[in-house]
Amino acid sequence: MPKYRYTAADSQGKDKSGMLDAASKPAALVKLRELGLHTSAIEEVPIATAVPRRAQSSAQRASSRGGSGLNVNLTIPLPKFLRQRVKPKQLATFTRQLATLIDARVPLLRALQILQKQEQTTGLREIIGELCEAVEGGSTFAEALSQHPKVFNKLFVNMVKAGEIGGVLQVTLNRLTEFVEKAEKIKTRVKGAMIYPIVVLVMALGITGVLMVLIIPKFTEIFKELLAGKEMPPVTQFVMAISDMLIHRFPVVIGGIVAVIVLMKLVGRTKFGRYQLDRLMLRAPIFGPLSMRVSVSRFTRTLGTLLSSGVQILQALTIVRETAGNEVIARAVQAVHDSIKEGETMAAPLEAARVFPSMVVSMIAVGEETGRLPDMLVKIADTYDTEVDAAVDGLTSIIEPVLIIFLAVVVGTIVIAMFMPLISIISNMK
């Protein structure tokens, strides 16, 4: 008869865990209810792990991990801080493969062991191995994931927890895969659009630096000798002053830049400073609309995915607030959380925050009235993903001429500054 490992709470709220024999999962739930226990997680235990671990021999434990008793794995796991970083693409692949195996009715522990064997990345393979040990030791899958917060964030853990409780873990994992893939697609799209402008800007600064450090000083010596003490044009004096500062006060310039960066970092660590910086980013002339679309897409997709997976709305809003990535959005979500806690709707505090577009607020209000809020949130996210793509294309087309004009103005100013004294010198010679 199959064995089931369960985690439950008794009538006094104390946690209970153990294993019981039952013909099926529903039968196991009935037995637990008859015992007065409220089940929070239950899963079937594979035959290989149904025997208590103390009763297994070393050879049996080795064979349960896919090896033989004679081949002992002496590989020493790396410390956590030396492990390779798990990329979002690798995480999405792992999640989709795990969902496929569970959907094929492969037990969770066996599915993790299969994925551990075929994983090529050392860091992720070691993490999967630790997940296997935790699940084999009696922990739920969500509890095992929570031990690796740098890889599996609160969104991931809570969705898996809801899937385990509802018995729809494979559905939840598929939704998580789609969420991770779409979020990574937007991030890659934005980063790719920024490569060309950054390269052009670096080249412009490099050319300007060469002119200021190597070319301008030579012209300065020539002008001082030929003009014989006459005053040079203001533009020329300004360019020469910048050149002199870069040559003789370079450490001071670098120190000033570093000080500004450190100050921005320190200000960003405070709640007030972070709020002001994020608010400034949302209102920036060129990047503001793009940042707003990305924030709206992330908020709606995260909340919609959590609600679709069975997470309670207050808990879902708390997770969204912690993973918002923008303090302005986080405060708006907190206002929504407080409003729902008082029995009100989401639309009113969203509109009062004056952060989200009116279309988003209207669609959320319609979703609340029709009882289809999760579907409506996902549709909003899909719409804004499309708008993000369009905004990135538009931003790229705007930045290119702006950078070209910037480079032309800088180089042109330097050329004019050097050409004006030459005119004076030629006039004096005539």
* Domain CATH for 425: 1.20.81.30
State both tokens at 290. 């793009």
Confidence of residue 84 (pLDDT cuts 50, 70, 90): low
What pLDDT sits at residue 265?
85
The predicted pLDDT at position 56 comes to: 40
Beta bridge partners of 16: 8
Whether 335 and 402 map to the same domain: the answer is yes
- pTM: predicted TM-score of the whole model, two decimal places: 0.60
Structure tokens at 45: 């235990």
**Can you tell me the distance from the alpha carbon of 6 to that of 42, in angstroms, rounded to the nearest whole number?**
4
φ/ψ (deg, to 5) at 140: -75, 165
CA-closest candidate to residue 302, choices 323, 278, 286, 283: 323
- Other residues' Cβ atoms within 10 Å of the Cβ of residue 258: 10
In a domain, 145, yes or no: yes
Question: Residue 38 pLDDT more than 80?
Answer: no
d(Cα 168, Cα 308) in Å, to the nearest integer? 11
Highest mean pLDDT among 94-98, 224-228, 284-288, 310-314: 94-98
Structure tokens at 400: 């290119």
Average pLDDT of the chain, as a whole number? 79
Q: Which of 51, 74, 93 is the last residue of a domain?
A: 51
| Same domain, yes or no: 140 and 282 | no
Domain count, the chain: 3
According to DSSP, the residues that pair with 38 across neighbouring strands are: 9
CA distance 111 to 385: 33
In this prediction, residue 264 carries a pLDDT of: 85
| 340-350 confidence digits (pLDDT tens) | 888 888 888 88
What number of CA atoms fall less than 13 Å from residue 369's CA on the CB side? 8
Runs of H (alpha helix) within 211-270: 216-227, 234-248, 250-269
Single out the residue in 136, 152, 168 at which a domain terminates.
Answer: 152
- Higher-confidence residue of 48 and 16: namely 16
Q: Are 257 and 298 contained in the same domain? A: yes
Structure confidence at residue 105 (pLDDT): 83
Report the alpha-carbon distance of residue 20 to residue 42 in Å, rounded: 10
User: Among candidates 181, 180, 147, 167, which has minimal Cα distance to 309?
Assistant: 167
What band does 26 get if pLDDT is binned at 50, 70 and 90? low
Q: Is pLDDT of 54 > 50? A: no
- Asked if residue 75 is part of any domain, the answer here is no
68 phi, psi to nearest 5 deg: -100, 165
pLDDT tier at 374, thresholds 50, 70, 90: confident
The better pLDDT of the pair 171, 23 is held by: 171
| 119/209 same-domain check | no
Most confident of 31-45, 162-176, 250-264: 250-264
Are residues 10 and 130 both part of a single domain?
no
Query: What is the domain extent for residue 96?
Result: 82-152
Q: How confident is the model at residue 11, as a pLDDT?
A: 61
Same domain for 341 and 211: yes
Closest C-alpha to 99, from 194, 175, 181: 175
187/304 same-domain check: yes
